[in-house]
Structure 1
Amino acid sequence: MSGHLSNRILRETERLARDPVPGISVTPHEDNARYFNVILAGPAGSPYEGGIFRLELFLPADYPMQAPRVRFLTPLYHPNIDRLGRVCLDILKDRWSPALQIRTVLLSIQALMSEPNPDDPLNNEAADLWKKDIARAKQMAQEWTTRYAK
């Protein structure tokens, strides 16, 4: 483990191991305990259901005063996730609070997968389709899930 880790990070990591979030696996990286490999199951009832999505989560040096950085490694078709895997989510930006935890962030991402917000997009093409033809947008999301997340 490199560098000094706060008791907060150690407690959160231990809690995630002891009391995992359903559908979410979080493993600290061997070389850097601020970097986590995340496996997230596509939420039931969403176009991502049945998919297994890989993410990376990094805790900056001033965590919890600054939000974690999260990125999807598995491509997905979603209005709030761009082609680089970046996530547009208020709690990762201006609505971050030190009271939030890694667990909260991952649950919020899982909820965002179930309820996309096309009014605050990172992927404008997906957002436009979500607004114009939600059935076709969900079909695209399912096709990408089958192609990249199975």
Structure 2
Amino acid sequence: MTQTQILCQAFRKPDMWKWRELNRIKTSGFRCLRDVEVDVNNVLLWKGLLVPDDPPYNKGAFRIEISFPSEYPLKPPKVTFKTPIYHPNVDEKGQVCLPIVSNENWRPSTKADQVIAELIVLVNKPDPDHPLRADLADEFIQDHERFLSKAEEQTSKFSEKRPCE
């Protein structure tokens, strides 16, 4: 079955939100997000390639997943990095501290493209005040040049090759 056939089957009422959300992301003009696709085995799991603009992450690309709960939009999606990233707001398992998708901040009116926009901002501008990795947050604050150097090194080592523009 092709991706298009799967999408046609998956995006039937009352689940038209999936089509609208995916279409908003694909037409949003995000330069930092590429190759967004729906998992063929689970239409609530979307995958994409994050291509940051700013150093130290602009030398690589990072696979991400967005997992929508069956209760979406009443409950927030979960964003996970599948590619390792040296970042104070992303833990070793790829879980992201992204305030917009926290239970206390989530609003059912929030759209997936807003979540992606916030993720892009967070990757380009780490928030050491809300870390998942306190050691990296401390390094980010206390020895910023060392943090940047290590993040660039880890990006070169673990990230995927950036797609051609």
Is TM > 0.5 for Structure 1 vs Structure 2? Answer: yes
Match of 1:89 among 98, 105, 114: 98
Match of 1:140 among 130, 150, 161: 150
Local SS of the residue matching 1:34? strand
> One-letter code of the match for 1:119?
D
Unaligned runs of 5+ in 2: 1-5
Displaced runs of 4 or more, over 4 A: 1-5
- Asked if 2 retains the 8 angstrom alpha-carbon contact of 1:129 and 1:136, the reply is yes
> One-letter code of the match for 1:139?
S
- Confirm whether residue 66 of structure 1 aligns to residue 67 of structure 2: no
Match of 1:11 among 20, 24, 28: 20
**TM-score, normalized by length of structure 1?**
0.91
How many aligned residue pairs are there? 149
Correspondences of 1:1-150 after superposition (within 5 Å): 1=6, 6-25=15-34, 26-42=36-52, 44-93=53-102, 94-149=104-159, 150=161
Unaligned runs of 5+ in 1: none
d(CA) in 2 for partners of 1:28, 1:143: 31
Deviation, structure 1 residue 34: 0.8
**TM-score, normalized by length of structure 2?**
0.83
Deviation, structure 1 residue 20: 4.6
d(CA) in 2 for partners of 1:105, 1:7: 19
Describe the superposition over 1:44-93 as per-residue Cα deviations: whole angstroms up to 9, x where unpaired.
Answer: 23310121100111110110111101100110111100000000011110
d(CA) in 1 for partners of 2:131, 2:82: 18
